[in-house]
Amino acid sequence: MCEASAGAETGGSDVLDLWASASGIGDAVCALYAACGAADTLAALPAAPDGPESGDVVVRLHTGHAGWLERARHPGLEILPCGAEKSGTWVDLARGYDEQLARAQSRKQWYCDNLLPGLTPCAPKFVDTTIHSHRFERTPYVVLTPFSAWPARNWPATHWRYLAALLYDAGFHSVILDGPGDGSRLREAFGALPPEWATWFWGLPEESVTDLMLGAAAVVGPDSGMTHVAALLGVPTVAVMAHLPPGVVFSHTRVRAVTPGTSCAPCRWRPERGYRPVCDAGCSAIATIAPEQVLRALQEVRHAAMAADADEGFQASPRRRTLSVVEQ
């Protein structure tokens, strides 16, 4: 493992500083799992004769997406925001991205192996699932997060609209989310939906988005940061994806992935697997996934979550609490 360095900011404890050069929200979530694994491993090591006591080594994860991770807590781990400037002493968990794609290995495990081969990622010990302030009154509802930072990963808007129709028939309202902007993507894709079917929001802060997710019956999204966040929160989550094997992206979670049956999927952006540059404008494979398949997966992941709640003796799950947000 890379040597930890002494840090005055942590009261004299040794410090291991980590970051991920891959800049997506999903990459930050994967780095969190690797950092939790590192913290557990360091805590279990016997103390060196001339070193800190066991458990006194602090792992610090530096990320540009600290706001999306602030609900997570883990012994021996600090999550710190960072800007464009990176210290030369920080360990980059995300190096070797092309080789990771070639091997089709779990991203969380890859990040761990970049730190210490064989290190095991794990979920944070505690995730705050409290709905703090933003409650949506129209329940039950399903959160849809249709947009990825990479257009090729997006499922067609026609399919999202039909899924909203199927959800309405099944008794669910759709809450559709987008990030910063003016809402034009949402209006273009979903403006024709009746208001009793769907409500949409854009540009909400992290806490509002996570509040909405925690009050939802389920979350559906592509291979995107918001799908990673939903999985981190423990919300029943469905991923509609084609480019990467689900185990690469969503290992160590309960995400239910729906993938196409085409010969090119998952292509991993490799020409020998069927990828072509024209695919960057839109993936023909992901378009073969039918909305009915996604609805079935959603029902399955919800039933599995409710069964888990029953096994654990919960009479009411946080995933089914009522929310209320002022519509934009």
135 vs 208, more confident: 208
| Mean of the per-residue pLDDT values of the chain | 87
Strand order through the sheet with 198-202: 198-202, 173-178, 141-144, 218-222, 237-240, 256-258
d(CA 119, CA 43): 13
**Domains and their CATH numbers in the chain:** 5-127 (no CATH), 135-324 (3.40.50.2000)
Q: Which residue in 238, 243, 285, 244 sits closest to 258, CA to CA?
A: 238
Longest dimension (CA), the chain: 69
d(CA 325, CA 328): 9
Residue with tokens 């209320």: 324
Confidence tier at 243 by pLDDT (50, 70, 90): very high
pLDDT of 313: 58
Amino acid identity of 214? Answer: L
The four Cα atoms 218, 220, 224, 228 give a dihedral, to 10 degrees, of 20
List of residues 6+ apart from 263 with CB closer than 8 A: 274
d(CA 112, CA 93): 7
Report pLDDT digits (tens) over 48-92: 555 555 557 899 999 999 999 999 999 999 999 987 678 888 999
Confidence tier at 2 by pLDDT (50, 70, 90): very low
Residue with tokens 């998952």: 266
Q: What angle do CA 194, 200, 201 make, to 5 degrees?
A: 160
**Helices of type H across 62-123:** 66-69, 97-103, 107-115
Other beta carbons within 10 angstroms of residue 44's beta carbon come to: 9
Report pLDDT digits (tens) over 138-149: 999 999 999 998
Length of the chain: 328
3-state secondary structure of 250: helix
Q: What is the mean pLDDT of residues 275-286?
A: 90
239 vs 47, more confident: 239
List of residues 6+ apart from 299 with CB closer than 8 A: 170
d(CA 274, CA 287): 16
d(CA 114, CA 127): 25
Is there a contact between 228 and 252 (Cβ–Cβ < 8 Å)?
no
Amino acid identity of 246? Answer: P
Helix (H) or strand (E) holding 17: strand 14-19
Amino acid identity of 53? Answer: E
pLDDT of 158: 97
pLDDT of 55: 54
Other beta carbons within 10 angstroms of residue 5's beta carbon come to: 10
Full-model pTM: 0.88
Amino acid identity of 247? Answer: G
85: its two tokens = 């400037």
Distance from the Cα of residue 223 to its chain's centroid: 9
159: its two tokens = 């399919």
Helix (H) or strand (E) holding 294: helix 291-311
